[in-house]
Amino acid sequence: MEASKVIHAIYNDDDVLMNAVKQVKAAKYHIDEVYTPFPVHGLDKAMGLAPTRLAICAFMYGCVGLTVATLMMNFIMIEDWPQDIGGKPSFSYLENMPAFVPIMFELTVFFAAHLMVITFYLRSKMWPFKNAENPDPRTTDDHFLMEISVTGNQNELESLLGQTGAVEINIVDKAH
């Protein structure tokens, strides 16, 4: 296993962290990860992360749910076991569609929501029973941590992070 050094710069305010990320990126350093106790609006853009494509997945999953609902209701209510419920004709899906709209909506939302959660967990590599990768437990409470790989001048990077308002700077050996 190969070990490399990373710097953990800890901040106690999200606005200070946001300015620090902008300064570190302006100085041409690559930020490996930022750990925060809550979502910080605009942090992904400041870090230069690519926009997420999860919304596209949500749309596709919703289309799958709508298709499953339509095929299921057509098979169950029209082909397999047609019933006269409330005087509605049971020989055509299109004539019954107004009664089927709530089911189509619910299955669209159901498929989109559940498959999105599964996709998010798989994409984030958050398997069941996986150990947490959080480097400092304070980041789940009230601190923010910026992790940067040490590739060049360590003293220069530490000095920059100190100027950005870091309350604590640690050098850590990180195993790959």
Token pair in block for residue 51: 């926009």
What totals of helices (H) and strands (E) does the chain contain, helices first? 5, 4
pLDDT per residue as tens digits for the range 120-173: 899 888 888 888 888 888 988 999 999 998 887 788 888 899 999 989 998 888
For 14, phi and psi rounded to 5 degrees? Answer: -70, -30
Rounded distance between C-alpha atoms, residue 43 and residue 24, angstroms: 13
Token pair in block for residue 25: 């990126």
CATH architecture assigned to 3-51+133-175: 2-Layer Sandwich (3.30)
pTM of the model: 0.70
pLDDT per residue as tens digits for the range 52-93: 888 999 999 999 999 999 999 999 888 888 777 777 667 778
Provide the β-strand partners of residue 173: 5
Token pair in block for residue 59: 């749309």
All structural domains of the chain with their residue ranges: 3-51+133-175, 54-123
